[in-house]
Amino acid sequence: MAVTTFAAIDIGSYNISMEIFEVRRSGLTSLTMLQQRLLLGRDAYDNHRISMESLNELTRILGDYANIMKEYGVSAYRACAKSAFRESGNSMLIMEHIRKKTGIAIDVLSNSEQRFLSYKSIASKGEDFARTIEKGTAIVDIGGGSIQISLFDKDTLVTTANLQLGSLRVSGRIASLEAQTAHPDVLIDQLIRKDILNFKRMYLKDRNIDTIILVGDYFTNLIFQNRTDDNKFESREEFLGWYDKIVNMTAQEAAEYLGVGMEVAHAVLPTAVLYRRLIEVLGVKTVWLPGIQLTDGIAYDYGLTSKIIKSGHDFDRDILMAARNMMKRYAGNKPHTDKLLEVSDEIFKAVRKSNLLSDRDRLLLKVACYLHDCGKYVSLVDVSACSYNIIKSTEIIGLSERERMIIANVVRYNTVPFDFRGSLAYGDPARELQTEDFLRVAKLTAILRLSNGLDQSYLQKIEAIHALRKDEKLVIEVTVREDFTLEKGIFQKNVRFFEDIFDVKPVLKIKKKIS
């Protein structure tokens, strides 16, 4: 049985962690866990840059970790940075400095990528995870900069939302006001209340949440007295009893009670208030701490992508469900979208092999189908621009910002002339796509255009479709149940673009369904 030694590094807002695993077909085995305190979040959230002092300390820590990886014979690693790096204006310089000094390359995760890895950490628990999400469940992931709430119902990801209410961010916002009140918990609650109630109004509606799953971090484990990162369940009443005890303490008293420094004690209260408010708003009965860290998710993701580990949970389905729920939010046409998914997938399968299209490209195309006309909710005149801006501005769990920009551009160029100059970012250089992604946008756009034209009337006239490449032609046979003149005309208008992109000419063969 193949065994890989893998190191997962988590560069967080207040801790730099590394966990070394054995990755094998049966799952993950942790060999060692290392953690060092470094409050990068204070730099990032207050000054929007990482200081030289913090850089030097981070370089030292990662240099030590690089040496330990060598001692363990690590064959692969991944170092992931989160919100502190995302919000620092000098993060690119920091990353280059660290790469030169330690040899460690850092991936800065988008928020959706970060939360998806946290979600995979929980999924690595197998049967416990599968059993819990069969009923109303929320995954709550509180970091230094923000919190993510993901709602599940009947094994399906219903929605996910990010709120800028992380522990360090909130404690920083109320720091100058604490001395002016005898009840800082009330102040914190007033600060966070609006955002959490807005979340409930927009996403929760009539759903019942029985359990929240907390992705473990330093503050979470302090609050739920789970310092050894055990797999632990706690009732609502147990948490509220602890909360009533801690909320009336001064920071000094809390530091002594918890056995931590003052800096940590100041950040514990905002996190505790966040949990109390969430438990009350969601109506939660049980809290599950599965005893995992982001490092588990990084390693589990490596095992999945390397095909060492097989998961019983379909993570691509979660991404598609998030896109489907977005479609519903923006009043998409479900019968048309279902037909578009069917037609585009048939065409994709016919051209994928000769054009090196991957399973990930197929997933991105499906997301584009779900969201292809979401801009109609805003404007029936400027659909392409509105759709582009909605997708660009909305996180879809499991997709990177780069992938989201690919989808946004595919949807935009579904109905407007394609920009062959390659500047696919509406004048925003930071979002411009590289050559490889430009070509992906072109290929997926060509498929979406051709497919969308085949249901131009939104009447789902196609009963059956089969696409097959024959030499220099892509033969698309459709069985239709009524006049297909409109769709045939639109198809012919899209042939030239498809042929330019794929170097194969689409040919439409129409069979009339015999009643």
Is the pLDDT score of 430 beyond 50? no
Pairing, β 147-153 against β 137-142: antiparallel
Mean pLDDT for 198-218 is 78
The values of phi and psi at residue 281, to 5°, are -65, -40
Tell me, what amino acid is at 183?
H
Pick the range with the lowest mean pLDDT from 64-73, 181-190, 213-222, 467-476.
213-222
Torsion of CA 388, 394, 396, 400, to 10 degrees: 70
The values of phi and psi at residue 23, to 5°, are -110, 120
Domains detected in the chain: 4-111+299-303 (3.30.420.40), 125-291 (3.30.420.150), 315-512 (1.10.3210.10)
Q: What pTM did the predictor assign?
A: 0.77
Is the pLDDT score of 141 beyond 50? yes
pLDDT at residue 252, rounded to an integer: 84
Q: Most confidently modeled of 20-29, 41-50, 417-426?
A: 20-29
Pick the range with the lowest mean pLDDT from 71-80, 108-117, 173-182, 218-227.
218-227
pLDDT at residue 249, rounded to an integer: 80
* H or E element that contains 476: strand 473-480
Question: What is the pLDDT of the chain when averaged over all its residues?
Answer: 85
pLDDT at residue 515, rounded to an integer: 58
Spatial contact of 167 and 142, defined as CB atoms under 8 Å apart: yes
CA separation for the pair 140, 288 (Å, rounded): 10
Tokens coding 135: 């009923």
Pick the range with the lowest mean pLDDT from 192-196, 299-303, 442-446.
192-196
Is the pLDDT score of 422 beyond 60? no
Kindly indicate the confidence band of residue 46, based on its pLDDT and cuts at 50, 70 and 90.
confident
CA separation for the pair 70, 412 (Å, rounded): 47
Q: Most confidently modeled of 31-40, 234-243, 419-428?
A: 31-40
pLDDT at residue 429, rounded to an integer: 43
Q: Map residue 341 onto helix, strand or coil.
A: helix
Spatial contact of 473 and 459, defined as CB atoms under 8 Å apart: no
Spatial contact of 186 and 153, defined as CB atoms under 8 Å apart: no
Q: Which residue has the higher pLDDT, 37 or 221?
A: 37
Q: Most confidently modeled of 165-179, 217-231, 377-391?
A: 377-391
Per residue in 245-260, pLDDT (tens digit) is 888 787 788 888 878 7
pLDDT at residue 426, rounded to an integer: 44
DSSP annotation of 513 reads P
